[in-house]
Amino acid sequence: MPGRSERRYVYLFILPTFIVLLAVVIFPMVFLYYVSLTNYEVGMQWGNKIFVGAENFMRLFSGGDPEFWQSLRITLIFVVLSTGIEFIFGLGIALLFCGKNIKGKSFLLSLLIIPMAMTPVVVGLVWKLLYNSEYGLLNFLLQNLWGVKVVWLGYSMAFVSVLIVDIWEWTPFMALIIYAGFQSLPAEPYEAGLVDGATNLQTFRYITLPLLRPIILLSLLLRSIDALKFFDLPYVLTRGGPGSSTEFLSLHVYRQTFAQTGWIGRASATATILLIMVVVLSTILIRFLRRTYKVT
């Protein structure tokens, strides 16, 4: 059936997109890798750069750039904590929404959209204000209720504070996806469970969770890919500081290129590592999506 004329239409429909993506995604990726093999810096003539081979990567892995390991470490901790906590809260909220007689359920669900639809930098700013030690609302409440004052964006708390904002912003994402997952579950296993006299907890553990497994995996993967790329919130809240307590990988790249040193070649190596990590996670996501799509 797919004869020669058919193939012509495939090209007609798909080729433009393919060419554009080649130019705007693949080419820049290759170019990034190329730059990471040079000593290019801000303000340097492009022609004067020297090809240094894998030196930038060697420096990262031989410990010549200890800040890289610090930022890799906190990035990974952040990915695990934010994704995990958001999942647990999201699951809880989704369960709350599963009640039968909740008045105005769809309206309440739509309110959940607000945190994740809000422009991320704006989210950062609003929380920066809430965290403010002089006229921030949080300290005002804490001081009046318990007489304590927390330096939210200080060295010891900054990481946690950034994490809290991310949880606020993205827990609704988890909740909405898991709730949609609940809605898509078939009724038969539950009827069978009811006949067999399963308790609520047993039903949840042995019927709901296994059925929900693909959706849980999907939401975890989507969130962890986003958390790896994390930039907007810490940029606004802390700029990676104090010290390097919130300098996630993206911020490390930012500091090396635009903020202080202008070492574009070295930063490109860091960015390439970030890209590779994202590619690995995306590959897992995609393997997994392919299986899910085949089933449905």
Partner 1 sequence: MRRSTKIFEVVRFVLLGVVILFCIFPFYYMVTMSFKQRIDIIDPSTWIFKPTISNYIKIIFEKDIFLYFKNSLIVVVGTTIISCVLGSMAAYGFARYRFRRKEDLAFFILSLRMFPPMAAVIPFFILATFIGLLDTHLILIIVYLTFNIPFTMWIMRGFFEEIPKEIEEAAMIDGASHLKTFTKVVLPLVAPGMAATVVLCFIQSWNEFALALFLTSLKARTLPTTVTFFLAARGIVWGQLAAVSTITTLPVIVFAFLVQKNLVRGLTFGALK
- Within 72-91, the residues that bind partner 1 by CB under 8 A are none
Buried b vs exposed e over 233-249: b needs ≥16 C-beta within 10 Å?
bbbbbbebbeebbbbbb
Q: In the range 117-176, which residues lie near partner 1 by CB under 8 A?
A: 117-123, 125-130, 134-137, 140, 168, 172-173, 176
Question: Are 204 and 187 spatial neighbours (Cβ–Cβ below 8 Å)?
Answer: no
Give the per-residue contact string, 204-223, with partner 1 (x = CB under 8 A; - = no): -----------x--xx--x-
Using rule CB under 8 A, residue 194 touches partner 1: no
Residue 59 or 239 having the CB closest to partner 1: 239
Residue 154 or 214 having the CB closest to partner 1: 214
- Neighbouring residues of 3: CB distance < 8 A, sequence distance ≥ 6: none
Choose which of 68, 87, 97, 131 interacts with partner 1 (CB under 8 A).
97
Using rule CB under 8 A, residue 268 touches partner 1: yes
| Least distance from partner 1 to the Cβ atom of residue 137, Å | 5
Residue 209 or 279 having the CB closest to partner 1: 279
Number of residues binding to partner 1, judged by CB under 8 A:
97
Q: How far apart, in Å, are the Cα atoms of 280 and each of 72, 241, 245, 283, 287? A: 15, 28, 26, 5, 11
Paired residues of 51 in beta bridges = 38
Q: In the range 19-38, which residues lie near partner 1 by CB under 8 A?
A: 20-21, 24-26, 28-29, 31-32, 35
Using rule CB under 8 A, residue 9 touches partner 1: yes
Using rule CB under 8 A, residue 250 touches partner 1: yes
Choose which of 77, 160, 180, 209 interacts with partner 1 (CB under 8 A).
180
Using rule CB under 8 A, residue 16 touches partner 1: yes
DSSP state string for the chain? ---HHHHHHHHHHHHHHHHHHIIIIIHHHHHHHHHHTB---TT--GGG--B-TTHHHHHHHTTS-HHHHHHHHHHHHHHHHHHHHHHHHHHHHHHHTT-S--TTHHHHHHHTHHHHHS-HHHHHHHHHHHH-TTT-HHHHHHHHHHS----TTSTTTHHHHHHHHHHHHHHHHHHHHHHHHHHTS-SHHHHHHHHTT--HHHHIIIIIHHHHHHHHHHHHHHHHHHHHT--HHHHHHTTT-STTTT--HHHHHHIIIIIS---HHHHHHHHHHHHHHHHHHHHHHHHHHHHHHHH-
| Least distance from partner 1 to the Cβ atom of residue 253, Å | 5
Residue 1 or 148 having the CB closest to partner 1: 1
Using rule CB under 8 A, residue 94 touches partner 1: no
| Least distance from partner 1 to the Cβ atom of residue 207, Å | 19
| Least distance from partner 1 to the Cβ atom of residue 3, Å | 11
Using rule CB under 8 A, residue 261 touches partner 1: no
Choose which of 236, 238, 246, 247 interacts with partner 1 (CB under 8 A).
236
Q: In the range 39-78, which residues lie near partner 1 by CB under 8 A?
A: 40, 46
Using rule CB under 8 A, residue 260 touches partner 1: no
Using rule CB under 8 A, residue 108 touches partner 1: yes
Choose which of 133, 156, 184, 202 interacts with partner 1 (CB under 8 A).
184
Residue 283 CA to residue 285 CA, distance in Å, equals 5
